[in-house]
């Protein structure tokens, strides 16, 4: 599941598909200052038009049309209404997670979750892809929108692009700490887990990817978070035959990895 674009109010013009309500546009101007404890929302109307206005703080996310964009008054960031959020995992990741049949998504589906994906291929804890920032920068500047409400689980996956771009341990840890802090602040009490960096294993050419997997494992332990190490899965489970390229799986490989991940999530008691 991907974030659905919400209407944008443009000065002097109609509401068109795009990003959040523009400051000073007609929707904001028509409403005036937000009431105390309210959030500005813009999204698709029930009859196909645009529904916009101030949503009381704490409004039920299930009652909002999917894709509705809500300004979180606490953070000042735009968030998006996601259907059935109580059964949905927020997945932050890279190209391993991005496809509809990406193995992290399949693993989460195997233990009962729907998935709301935030991220993009080519990104990571430090790595950016030119259009979207690294995980914490993308969150803070709104390259993608967190869900409004409380997801059932939060999963962070990645590290491969950080390995490819030469990110240092210190850079990865600093940004991962910031990301975990931001997510815990936004969703207090929600379970959070980390999936490491898919690789061949240290004795089979895993190299920097395997090192980052271990680094993320140590970081997760320091934060008291469940961690799924995948830094040797390609060789441990004889999956190199299912590589589509140097680091990504073909459909059969993604399916196998999804099943393996689902088993690990159950062992960590992270099923829905």
CB atoms within 10 A of CB 252: 12
Within 13 A of 206's CA, how many CA atoms are on the CB side? 24
* pLDDT, position 73: 86
In sequence order, what E strands does 207-262 have? 227-228
* pLDDT, position 25: 33
pLDDT at 196 over 80: yes
Q: Which residue in 210, 188, 215, 186 sits closest to 199, CA to CA?
A: 210
pLDDT at 213 over 50: yes
Task: Report residue 205's pLDDT band, with 50, 70 and 90 as the boundaries.
Answer: very high
Q: What percent of the chain has pLDDT over 70?
A: 78
In sequence order, what E strands does the chain have? 6-9, 15-18, 38-44, 50-56, 69-71, 78-80, 88-93, 114-119, 153-157, 192-195, 227-228
User: Across the strands, what pairs with 119?
Assistant: 93
117: helix, coil or strand?
strand
pLDDT at 3 over 60: no
Mean pLDDT of 28-35: 40
CA angle (59 as vertex; 109, 80 as ends), nearest 5: 50
pLDDT at 259 over 60: yes
- 132-180: per-residue pLDDT in tens? 999 999 999 999 999 999 999 999 999 999 999 999 999 999 999 999 9
Which residues 6+ apart lie within 8 Å of 67 measured at CB?
3, 4, 5, 6, 43, 44, 80, 81
Q: Are strands 69-71 and 38-44 parallel, antiparallel or unpaired?
A: antiparallel
Tokens at 105, concatenated: 């998504």
- 44-96: per-residue pLDDT in tens? 433 333 334 456 556 677 788 999 999 988 889 999 999 999 999 999 999 99
């Amino acid at each position: 599941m991907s974030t659905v674009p919400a209407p944008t109010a443009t000065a002097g013009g109609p509401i068109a598909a795009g990003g959040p309500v523009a400051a000073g546009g007609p929707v904001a101007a028509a409403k005036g200052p937000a009431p105390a404890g309210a959030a500005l929302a813009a999204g698709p109307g029930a009859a196909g038009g645009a529904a916009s206005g101030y949503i009381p703080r704490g409004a039920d996310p299930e009652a909002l049309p999917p894709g509705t964009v809500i300004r979180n008054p606490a953070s000042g960031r735009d968030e998006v209404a996601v259907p059935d959020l109580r059964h949905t995992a927020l997945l932050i990741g890279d190209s391993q997670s991005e496809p509809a049949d990406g193995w992290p998504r399949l693993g989460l589906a195997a233990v009962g979750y729907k998935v709301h994906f935030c991220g993009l291929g080519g990104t990571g804890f430090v790595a950016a892809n030119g259009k979207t920032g690294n995980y914490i920068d993308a969150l803070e500047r709104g390259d993608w929108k967190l869900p409004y409400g409380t997801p059932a689980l939060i999963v962070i996956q990645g590290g491969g692009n950080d390995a490819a771009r030469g990110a240092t341990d210190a850079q990865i840890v600093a940004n991962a700490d910031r990301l975990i802090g931001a997510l815990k602040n936004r969703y207090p009490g929600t379970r959070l887990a980390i999936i490491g960096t898919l690789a061949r294993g240290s004795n089979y050419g895993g190299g920097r990817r395997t090192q980052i997997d271990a680094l993320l494992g140590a970081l997760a332990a320091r934060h008291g978070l469940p961690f799924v190490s995948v830094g040797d899965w390609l060789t441990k489970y004889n999956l190199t035959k299912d590589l589509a390229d140097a680091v990504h799986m073909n459909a059969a490989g993604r399916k196998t990895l999804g099943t393996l991940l689902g088993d690990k999530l159950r062992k960590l008691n992270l099923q829905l």
